[in-house]
Chain A
């Protein structure tokens, strides 16, 4: 009896009245999801702006960027970018994009909004923790950005923050004092935020599923988010202690990461005995799973969107889920491939190399299943499905370059070159971004109750798709020509002839970035003036489409959906003549049209 009261208390909070409780400190998972999406949007445009400046500088090193001198007279006197300022922009670009875009948008934003709806729950089990999770993440973002305005700017040590550069303080360079501490603090906060998120995601998936929502009936997205939150749980809880230790090395003078007898800029450092590899181990134990934290939700979204536009279920959802799970597991065993040449025992390099090669198998399986599912489907082309297909193309491109980097012997040549940059921008950054776009065009009607503008969406896709290849494909060539990354200018004799390639991708970067403004316009315009959306504009089957757009405060307006089918009943014949059956409708397919079992 008391248990009943329990569920009552956990799940029933009435809709708030005041503006603040409704839109700012809201405990409604849908509002929090939108807030996360907004944060991701803000972050992605900041990060893009930074990359514009970087690309401009790389293309034309002695170019005085107009306005930059006014923006930062120290970092860019007269608009002329200094090396430290370039590195600071680079660090912030990486950190903002990896943490506040690739982690926040596909996982936290869409996950918050749709996970409870897709399992038929009224809300997350701990709405207040959920609210806290967002605001902690937001604080992390604020702290990170604030480092632009304190001391001599943000850290210049890259998003990987390798010690001891990050641990010895401002003697090591501009931004290595206060800026680096703020960086570490911000990331620690971010970890807390994401752990609080997992604290909600996992119980939601386990305990709050509607009647009939067996594991085998959870949509691909739910699986993806569930797997991701499990990974986040183990990854972020390792990064946070690492950041704490780093801050201690900085402020208290401990020696976790700083060895003895370092003479930085003629000054003997008062540290002793620390291990620089320790940071790399801790960081990459988080860092590699992080890559999959970014990509797995995107995979889920792509599957979800693709199925709807193919009008058929995937060849086998089990295989996809199994592959995603094995990706998650393997991602912890392969992190060492980031450290092949960093002084790790050469034997362990080989040990790390094989799982790294093997991890390509599940990825390949996923791609093949997608391709096989397109075969003899009824592919409907719209912005969402275009981006989903684009994702597959990107993922293939970025995936194959992984073969090179998985081999220590080739890593000797390619490590820390633009090849790596090209690789992870395709397979992680752009792929995940395409997933986000796809999800946005697909779910926007449900999130905001209005349709996005299709023609603009398609235009956005074309410019982005072509543009992205134009930016990042040349990176592979640069890498093969041994062009080292994280250089603010190319002064080596063998790299000077590569500058035209940089200029090429700079031009594409500017033009692709500009294309994103179309998306922004589309987003804002449709939010307020787009044409009203029906409940199920894409004729999709999963639970979010059974409720109104946008869903009411308790998601189903007091209704408690019962699930009768696996989520993707497409390509069937129903009495009502549709080719799909909603997940919560008891009707069955009248004629057994061939439909692959899921």
Chain B
């Protein structure tokens, strides 16, 4: 309440601007006869690193949640066919409008003392929701880079508490978020300007609603950093763009 009160005007004004802009943009889109999309697969070449197991013995509740499925770190998650999960792809250059907002609010859930998803991508000023499905209290503590102007926050969420709705006012790749009560709980918020997508467990992704034009697409992975590729999108049909990270 207090914190929000202080700088409540920032999200409000930003979202206002967004609404106006997007309506304006929509008209454009109508005139620009449909949009394209960028799709593809992100893979990891080489042997993925050993992921340490997580010992949750500190909190019996968490231990119970994973009684028969031991959990490991999620710094590098490789799915079938070398597909790399939790990679965020976004248009870093060439796009200067406002992306059409998807109606679905990005949700960051705390489940079995882990973050699902491990990496949550969202647009600048876009509202996201932090929920808890656990019967133990977590605290959510994103630590953005002070230079970006994003304001760090740190709040607890007791079992059954209402979701926390927040948004970031500046682009930042990526904001580490952690739970101090359960130190192994660690994830990322990725805040980008343009359209974005996150890879599924098979490494596939699709960036929707990309107006025709030529762009630079950046893929970010928490361990291996970023890769960039150029792509030209034409109206109507999807453009394919694959990324391959090399295991260190």
Direct contact of A and B (CB under 8 A): yes
Instruction: A153 to B159: give the CA distance in the assembly, Å.
Output: 22
A421 an interface residue at 8 Å Cβ cutoff?
Answer: no
Q: Is the CB of A82 within 8 A of B3?
A: no
Contacts of A62 in B (CB 8 A): 158-160
Contacts of A265 in B (CB 8 A): 141, 143, 178, 180
For B159, give the chain A residue with the smallest CB separation: A62
CB neighbors of A among B1-55 (8 A): 1-4, 6
Q: What is the 8 Å Cβ interface bit string for chain B, positions 152-170, against chain A (1 contact, 0 not)?
A: 1111111111101000000
B234 an interface residue at 8 Å Cβ cutoff?
Answer: no
Q: What is the 8 Å Cβ interface bit string for chain A, positions 73-92, against chain B (1 contact, 0 not)?
A: 11101101111100000000
Q: How near does chain B come to A60, taking the closest CB pair, in angstroms?
A: 13
Contacts of B162 in A (CB 8 A): 77-78
Binds B, one of A8-16, A134-142, A144-152, A476-484: A144-152
B127 an interface residue at 8 Å Cβ cutoff?
Answer: no
Of B6, B137, B143, B164, which is within 8 A of A83 by CB?
A: B137
Contacts of A267 in B (CB 8 A): 143
Q: How near does chain B come to A417, taking the closest CB pair, in angstroms?
A: 21
Q: Is the CB of A149 within 8 A of B2?
A: yes
Q: A152 and B143 in contact (CB under 8 A), knowing A74-B3, A80-B160?
A: no
Q: How near does chain B come to A149, taking the closest CB pair, in angstroms?
A: 6
Of A73, A80, A149, A153, which is within 8 A of B158 by CB?
A: A80
Instruction: A72 to B161: give the CA distance in the assembly, Å.
Output: 13
Instruction: A151 to B1: give the CA distance in the assembly, Å.
Output: 9
Of B155, B159, B178, which is within 8 A of A74 by CB?
A: B155
Q: Is the CB of B6 within 8 A of A174?
A: no
Instruction: A220 to B159: give the CA distance in the assembly, Å.
Output: 55
For B3, give the chain A residue with the smallest CB separation: A152
Instruction: A81 to B159: give the CA distance in the assembly, Å.
Output: 11
B212 an interface residue at 8 Å Cβ cutoff?
Answer: no
Instruction: A490 to B155: give the CA distance in the assembly, Å.
Output: 20
Instruction: A171 to B176: give the CA distance in the assembly, Å.
Output: 14
Most A CB contacts (10 A, CB to CB) among B137, B139, B141, B154 go to B154
Instruction: A265 to B154: give the CA distance in the assembly, Å.
Output: 11
Q: Is the CB of A152 within 8 A of B159?
A: no
Main secondary structure of the interface of A (DSSP, over half): loop
A266 an interface residue at 8 Å Cβ cutoff?
Answer: yes
Q: What is the 8 Å Cβ interface bit string for chain A, positions 251-284, against chain B (1 contact, 0 not)?
A: 0000000000000011100000000000000000
A170 an interface residue at 8 Å Cβ cutoff?
Answer: yes
Q: Is the CB of A151 within 8 A of B2?
A: yes
Contacts of A149 in B (CB 8 A): 2
Contacts of A170 in B (CB 8 A): 152, 154
Q: How near does chain A come to B177, taking the closest CB pair, in angstroms?
A: 11
Q: How near does chain B come to A88, taking the closest CB pair, in angstroms?
A: 11
A212 an interface residue at 8 Å Cβ cutoff?
Answer: no
Instruction: A82 to B156: give the CA distance in the assembly, Å.
Output: 6
A173 an interface residue at 8 Å Cβ cutoff?
Answer: yes
Q: Is the CB of B158 within 8 A of A152?
A: no
Q: Is the CB of B178 within 8 A of A72?
A: no
Q: A82 and B2 in contact (CB under 8 A), knowing A77-B161, A265-B180, A266-B143?
A: no
Contacts of A152 in B (CB 8 A): 2-3, 153-155
Q: What is the 8 Å Cβ interface bit string for chain B, positions 85-112, against chain A (1 contact, 0 not)?
A: 0000000000000000000000000000
For A174, give the chain B residue with the smallest CB separation: B154
Q: Is the CB of A73 within 8 A of B1?
A: yes
Q: What is the 8 Å Cβ interface bit string for chain A, positions 468-510, against chain B (1 contact, 0 not)?
A: 0000000000000000000001000000000000000000000
Instruction: A75 to B1: give the CA distance in the assembly, Å.
Output: 8
Instruction: A82 to B155: give the CA distance in the assembly, Å.
Output: 8
Q: What is the 8 Å Cβ interface bit string for chain B, positions 133-152, against chain A (1 contact, 0 not)?
A: 00001010101000000001
**For this complex, into which size category does the number of interface residues on chain A fall?**
20 to 34
Q: How near does chain B come to A97, taking the closest CB pair, in angstroms?
A: 23
Q: What is the 8 Å Cβ interface bit string for chain A, positions 167-178, against chain B (1 contact, 0 not)?
A: 000110110000
Instruction: A104 to B4: give the CA distance in the assembly, Å.
Output: 35
Of B137, B155, B159, B160, which is within 8 A of A174 by CB?
A: B155
Count of inter-chain pairs, beta carbons less than 8 A: 65
CB neighbors of B among A572-597 (8 A): none
Q: What is the 8 Å Cβ interface bit string for chain B, positions 184-221, against chain A (1 contact, 0 not)?
A: 00000000000000000000000000000000000000
Contacts of B154 in A (CB 8 A): 84, 152, 170, 173-174
Q: What is the 8 Å Cβ interface bit string for chain B, positions 47-66, against chain A (1 contact, 0 not)?
A: 00000000000000000000
Contacts of A84 in B (CB 8 A): 139, 154-156
Contacts of A150 in B (CB 8 A): 2, 6
Of B139, B143, B152, B161, which is within 8 A of A80 by CB?
A: B161
Instruction: A72 to B4: give the CA distance in the assembly, Å.
Output: 12
Q: Is the CB of A153 within 8 A of B143?
A: no
Q: What is the 8 Å Cβ interface bit string for chain A, positions 430-459, against chain B (1 contact, 0 not)?
A: 000000000000000000000000000000
For A81, give the chain B residue with the smallest CB separation: B158
Contacts of B141 in A (CB 8 A): 265
Q: How near does chain B come to A330, taking the closest CB pair, in angstroms?
A: 41
Q: Is the CB of B178 within 8 A of A266?
A: yes
For B135, give the chain A residue with the smallest CB separation: A62
Contacts of B2 in A (CB 8 A): 74, 148-153
Q: How near does chain A come to B150, taking the closest CB pair, in angstroms?
A: 14
Q: How near does chain B come to A62, taking the closest CB pair, in angstroms?
A: 7
Instruction: A84 to B159: give the CA distance in the assembly, Å.
Output: 15
For A267, give the chain B residue with the smallest CB separation: B143
CB neighbors of B among A170-200 (8 A): 170-171, 173-174
Instruction: A78 to B158: give the CA distance in the assembly, Å.
Output: 11
Q: How near does chain B come to A35, taking the closest CB pair, in angstroms?
A: 29
Instruction: A170 to B154: give the CA distance in the assembly, Å.
Output: 9
Q: How near does chain A come to B146, taking the closest CB pair, in angstroms?
A: 10
Q: How near does chain A come to B160, taking the closest CB pair, in angstroms?
A: 7
Contacts of B161 in A (CB 8 A): 77-78, 80, 82
Q: Is the CB of A74 within 8 A of B4?
A: yes
Of B143, B153, B158, which is within 8 A of A82 by CB?
A: B158
Instruction: A389 to B103: give the CA distance in the assembly, Å.
Output: 70
Q: How near does chain B come to A170, taking the closest CB pair, in angstroms?
A: 7
Contacts of B6 in A (CB 8 A): 150-151
For A150, give the chain B residue with the smallest CB separation: B2
Contacts of A72 in B (CB 8 A): 1
Q: How near does chain A come to B185, taking the closest CB pair, in angstroms?
A: 12
Most B CB contacts (10 A, CB to CB) among A171, A265, A489 go to A265
Contacts of B176 in A (CB 8 A): 266
Q: How near does chain A come to B61, taking the closest CB pair, in angstroms?
A: 9
CB neighbors of B among A1-47 (8 A): none
Instruction: A533 to B148: give the CA distance in the assembly, Å.
Output: 68
Instruction: A171 to B4: give the CA distance in the assembly, Å.
Output: 18
Name the 7 nearest CB pairs between A and B, nearest first.
A82-B156, A77-B161, A74-B1, A73-B1, A152-B3, A77-B162, A80-B158
Binding site for B on A (CB under 8 A): 62, 72-75, 77-78, 80-84, 148-153, 170-171, 173-174, 265-267, 489
23 A–B contact pairs at CB < 8 A? A62-B158, A62-B159, A72-B1, A74-B155, A77-B158, A77-B162, A78-B161, A78-B162, A82-B137, A82-B156, A82-B158, A82-B161, A84-B139, A84-B154, A84-B155, A151-B3, A152-B3, A152-B153, A171-B143, A174-B154, A265-B141, A265-B143, A267-B143
Known: A74-B3, A151-B3. 4 other contacts (CB 8 A): A80-B158, A82-B137, A149-B2, A150-B2
